[in-house]
Chains A and B, each alone.
Chain A
Amino acid sequence: MRKLIAGAAIALTGLAGTAMAEDYPERPIMMMVSYGAGGATDFQARIVTMTAGNEDALGMPIAIINKPGAGGRVGWNWFATQADADGYTLAAYNVPHFIAQSIKGGVSYSADSFEPIANWGADPAVFVVAADSPFNSMADVVAYATENPGKLTFSGAGLFVGHHIAALQIEKAAGVKMAYIPTKGGGAAAMKAVIAGEVMGGINNLSDAYRAQEAGNVKILGVADLQRSDFLPDVPTMQEQGLEVDNSSVNFRGVMVPKDTPQEVIEKLAATVPEMFANDRVAKKMAAGGSPMHIMSRDEVKEMWAAREQTLKELLAGL
């Protein structure tokens, strides 16, 4: 009798296994965002997943769950150690943040703990100064920093996040020492410090800086990316201004699943999710909010992760 039950149970789980891959998804999906509600990642995650319930997308809605704390470490730690690898728990990733944190150590994840699905956005870091600042170009900033080593204060959203990477790259490229001030409370707090004149400059997200410039509060001096942004066609890149800063600090945002998620589920997601991001309504809402989109497939993201890991290891080696 016991054997019979055991046999039936095995048969059932086997059935459920195959059924799961075919019918996936058959219930709503959860997506963890490791930053607070209202932040740029949260806001964009809500927009790009809003059409998930459509028949041509996943056919099931995606609900956003926020697990904020310590620059994203709390959420990604949870995702790497406690999330179910069944395809019903997705997470938003921020590169270079989680890769830089895993290189620095003290967290339970690395790039190998997760499987990327697709990338939806790329938000470059920019250098901002208050509207009444004497600095008008990166050359002014570098000149001041050369004359006053370690005295130029500039804010950013914490250590080992995209802003910090950009700060390190700028210092390295210009061969100067400046005082990077990490703030608690993300990009908004770092921006407030710039506008209020608590610091002389700051690194911030292009999307937030664009908004602050529209409001007349800041000047944007340079973009830490390989080409100019469509939102800011007049602002030169760092490289145009003679600073060898590549796109390592660009904040790539996308969707990932835990490592042991069934292969069929990963394939299904990798096929549907980029389509879902490409939806017209999504594109319109993203553009309206000043959020640059950059859709990449699973394979492209894999390459990008590997490349980032390489450059970040070199950059952070001395710290």
Chain B
Amino acid sequence: MEFIFYFGDVFSPLSFLLLLGGTIGGLILGATPGLSPTMAVALLIPFTFHLEAVQGLILLGAAYTSTVAGGAVSAILLKIPGAPANIATTLDGHKMAKQGQGAKALQLSFLASAAGGIFGVLLLIFLTPLLAEWALAFGPSHLFWLAILGVTVIGSLDSASVVKGLLSGCIGLWLATIGFDDIMGAQRFIFHPSLGGGINIIAALIGLFAIPQVLTMFAKGRRTSGAEVIEVQKHSVLDATRELLRRPRALGIGTITGSIIGLIPGVGGQIAGLVAYDQTKKFSSEKEKFGQGHSEGVIAAEAANNAMVGPSLVPLLTLSIPGSPTAAVLLGGLLIHGIFPGSDLFDNHPDVAWTFINSMLVGQVLMCLFGLYVAGLAARVAQVPQSVMAAIVLALSVFGAYSVQSSMGDVYVMACLGIGMYFLERFGFSAAPLVLGLILGPIAEANFIQGGMIADATVGKSAYFLTGGLNIFLIAVVVASIAYSAWMELRSRRYTTKEEAQA
């Protein structure tokens, strides 16, 4: 309960001003394509040089919280996921925006973000020691199986058929091998200098999601003379809250999956949203509505990616190991003031530690309030004529891809992947499984190689990867996930044949 004692510090004038500034600025940065939470926080670090340690961290904490949620804006309205965390949000969110329900989608996403986010920070406050143990429990073999579990999701994710989903996943896995191999330093498929660093995930996200859509919009613009105007339905916040409360399953699964997976160093943040989306879909009574603009999809994805924020800081704050790129940047923000995360932080600088954590709690609420205010206005984006919209999205895409590393190479990568995806989409392939392959490939590979090296020196590969409680549990989940997908596929085939027979 120590944290309540330090709540006052969050509300001192300068601190609160920074909190407000960080939250609003974070929402804007998060909504800008290409500016991931990591980059947004890195951009703010120089400002903290001139601030007290506590104030600097308030700014960073607020910005981290709200950039993650802000990513939903471009994901829903423009179909550009600003970071891997927002991929799952595009699946149903953008469909809703197209149906004129952009305001509703945004309101739901901010409410779900706040609910998930507050739960995550509360976990950080009350269960930190327990969570730290859990974060360390995942060694190379477990991370490998976790990545494989992610691969089993690929088939059922947002595709016309399981086979096409798996094929897109394979393309993603192949794309992930491009570049220098991170462990051995071997060069693979580098046929152009800008591919030396591999395919940048942010540039790929923008290309795969936004560009096909731009091309489609241009293509349509020529066919229909007048601009298609979508009626943007007004949606009251009260209705959105009621809708959220009517979907406790999506909210619960999203929040819990997000918190658990977000905790695992190096993996969590990127796949928490997608795994939560997939789990919610499997447990939902309205499976067929997913991908068609279903509110549960948005709720689960956004609850998960904000629930991850608190737990993802556990390894940093307790063990002084940054578990995610954003945590690494925050570590810099602490070190610059001579504060070492770990026991030093909580014993000698409790004011800094708890004010930082409290600011994330208050930041979640502020983020939600501003987000809801913006939602009504932002949803009007859908009324912009298609041809204008296409130009805007294209400009933002180029800007976003360039800004990742100030490199034109990433823009070319984005353009090539985008054009390729446009044709793939026409054949019923979809971007989400491809991106999942791109994310999971390196995780599975690096952990397999690393685990293999440890295994060869100690107990041997089969004992290392196939024994131990956590390994067996993960393998069981993998098997269950595959079996479930196969069963669903068979069942739906049987139904179609029946219908076809009747017709």
Give the complex CA separation of A37 and B41 in angstroms.
10
- Taking a contact as CB atoms under 8 Å apart, the answer to whether B344 and A158 are in contact is no
Give the contact stretch, choosing among A41-49, A114-122, A219-227, A302-310: A41-49
Bound together, the chains give a CA A126 to CA B327 distance in angstroms of: 24
CA distance A59 to B325 in the complex (A): 32
The answer to whether A74 touches B196, judged by C-beta atoms less than 8 angstroms apart, is yes
Using Cβ atoms and an 8 Å threshold, which residues of chain A touch B238?
A: none
- Please state if B458 and A38 are interface contacts (CB–CB under 8 Å): no
Q: A168-227: which have CB < 8 Å to B?
A: 179, 181-185, 188-189, 191-193, 195-199, 211-212, 214-217
How many Å from the CB of B83 to the closest CB on chain A?
Answer: 14
Distance from A141 Cβ to chain B, minimum over Cβ atoms (Å): 14
Q: Is A12 located at the chain interface by the 8 A CB criterion?
A: no
Contact (A106, B266) CB under 8 Å given A37-B329, A67-B407, A196-B139: no
How many whole Å from B344's CB to the nearest CB in chain A? 6
B31 to chain A minimum Cβ distance, whole angstroms, is 20
Q: How far is the CA of A289 from the CA of B181 in the complex (A)?
A: 31
Residues facing A in B188-207 (CB within 8 A) are: 193, 196-198
Complex contacts, B453 vs chain A, CB 8 Å: 153, 179, 181-182
Q: Does A262 contact B (CB under 8 A)?
A: no
Whether B454 pairs with A78 at a CB distance below 8 angstroms is no
> Given that A65-B406, A74-B196, A159-B184 are contacting pairs, would A179 and B457 also be in contact in the complex, using a CB cutoff of 8 Å?
yes
Query: Is there contact, CB below 8 Å, between A81 and B197?
Result: no
A182 CA to B193 CA, complexed, in Å: 25
Task: List the A residue with the shortest CB-CB distance to B142.
Answer: A198
Pick the contact of B329 from A38, A185, A217 — CB < 8 Å?
Answer: A38
Q: Assess whether A215 is in contact with B38, with CB atoms less than 8 Å apart.
A: no
Question: Taking the complex as formed, is B45 at the interface, i.e. its CB lies under 8 A from any CB of chain A?
Answer: yes
| Cα-based distance from A313 to B28 in the complex (angstroms) | 51
Q: Could you say which residues of chain A place their CB within 8 Å of the CB of B335?
A: 43, 288-291
Min Cβ gap B337→A in Å is 7
Complex interface: chain B residues within 8 A of A217 (CB)? 319-320, 342
List which B14-40 residues lie within 8 A (CB) of chain A: 38-39
Q: Are B45 and A70 in contact (CB under 8 A)?
A: no
Is B501's CB within 8 Å of the partner chain A? no
B161 contacts across to A, CB distance below 8 A: none
Residues of B within 8 A of A159 (CB): 183-185
Q: How far is the CA of A50 from the CA of B331 in the complex (A)?
A: 18
Per the CB 8 Å criterion, the residue count for chain A at the interface is 61
Contacts A179-B457, A184-B182; is A215 near B342 (CB within 8 Å)? yes
Tell me the nearest residue of chain A to B408, going by C-beta: A82
**B343 at the A interface (CB under 8 A):** yes
Kindly state whether residue A7 has any CB partner on chain B within 8 Å: no
In the complex, A47→B405 CA distance in Å?
Answer: 20
Q: Which of B45, B320, B332, B405 contacts A215 (CB 8 A)?
A: B320
A150 interface contact, C-beta 8 A: yes
B420 is an interface residue with CB less than 8 A from chain A: no
With A65-B405, A217-B320 already in contact, the answer to whether A70 and B185 are too (CB < 8 A) is yes
Q: Report the Cα distance A240→B332, complex, angstroms.
A: 33
Compute the total of residue contacts between A and B using a CB distance below 8 Å.
Answer: 172
| CB-based contact B458/A216 at 8 Å | no
- Any chain A CB within 8 A of the CB of B470? no
Contacts of A104 in B (CB 8 A): 185
> Which residues of chain A are near B406, meaning CB under 8 Å?
30, 65
A71 at the interface (CB under 8 A from B): yes
Interface string of A20-44 (1 = CB under 8 A from B): 0000000000100000111100110
A47 to B140, CA, bound (A): 34
Residue from B140, B182, B183, B456 within 8 A of A179 (CB atoms): B456
Contact of B320 among A68, A71, A212 (CB under 8 A): A212
Interface residues of B in 97-142 (CB under 8 A from A): 136-137, 139-140
B-side contacts of A291, CB under 8 Å: 335
Contact with B along A272-301 (1 / 0, CB 8 A): 000000000000010111110000000000
Once A43-B332, A181-B450, A290-B335 are accepted as A-B contacts, the answer to whether A101 and B185 lie under 8 Å apart by CB is yes
Cα distance A212–B344 when bound, in Å? 10
Q: How far is the CA of A177 from the CA of B198 in the complex (A)?
A: 33
Q: Does B341 contact A (CB under 8 A)?
A: yes
Nearest CB of chain B from residue A48's CB, rounded to whole Å: 12
Please, how many angstroms separate the alpha-carbon atoms of A43 and B335 in the complex?
9
A177 to chain B, nearest CB (A): 10
With A37-B325, A181-B450 known as contacts, the answer to whether A73 contacts B185 (CB < 8 A) is yes
What is the minimal beta-carbon distance from A62 to any residue of chain B, in angstroms? Answer: 11
Contact A106 B332 (CB under 8 A): no
Contact residues of B between 51 and 82, Cβ < 8 Å to A = none
- Across-interface contacts of B265 in A (CB, < 8 A): 189, 192
B396 interface contact, C-beta 8 A: no
Query: Measured between C-beta atoms, what is the minimum distance from A153 to chain B in Å?
Result: 5
B167 at the interface (CB under 8 A from A): no
Distance A184 CA – B184 CA, assembled complex (angstroms): 10
Q: Are B197 and A67 in contact (CB under 8 A)?
A: yes
Establish whether residues A192 and B336, one from each chain, have CB atoms under 8 Å apart when the complex forms: no
The verdict on A215 contacting B196 (CB below 8 Å), with A39-B328, A179-B453 known, is: no
Query: Could you write out 11 A-B pairs with CB less than 8 Å apart?
Result: A67-B197, A77-B193, A151-B458, A179-B456, A196-B136, A212-B319, A212-B320, A215-B319, A215-B340, A215-B342, A290-B335
- Contacts beyond the supplied A214-B342, A215-B342: 19 A-B pairs with Cβ under 8 Å: A38-B322, A38-B332, A39-B328, A43-B335, A74-B180, A77-B196, A153-B454, A183-B450, A184-B183, A193-B139, A196-B139, A197-B136, A198-B139, A215-B343, A216-B343, A217-B320, A288-B337, A288-B338, A290-B335
- Which B residues lie at the A interface, using CB under 8 A? 38-39, 42, 45-46, 49, 136-137, 139-140, 179-187, 193, 196-198, 265-266, 315, 319-322, 325-332, 335-338, 340-344, 405-407, 442, 446, 450, 453-454, 456-458
Listed in ascending order, the chain A residues whose CB lies under 8 Å from chain B are 30, 36-39, 42-43, 46-47, 50, 65-71, 73-74, 77-78, 81-82, 101, 104, 106, 150-153, 158-160, 179, 181-185, 188-189, 191-193, 195-199, 211-212, 214-217, 285, 287-291
Q: Which 3 A-B pairs have the closest CB atoms?
A: A215-B342, A38-B328, A288-B338
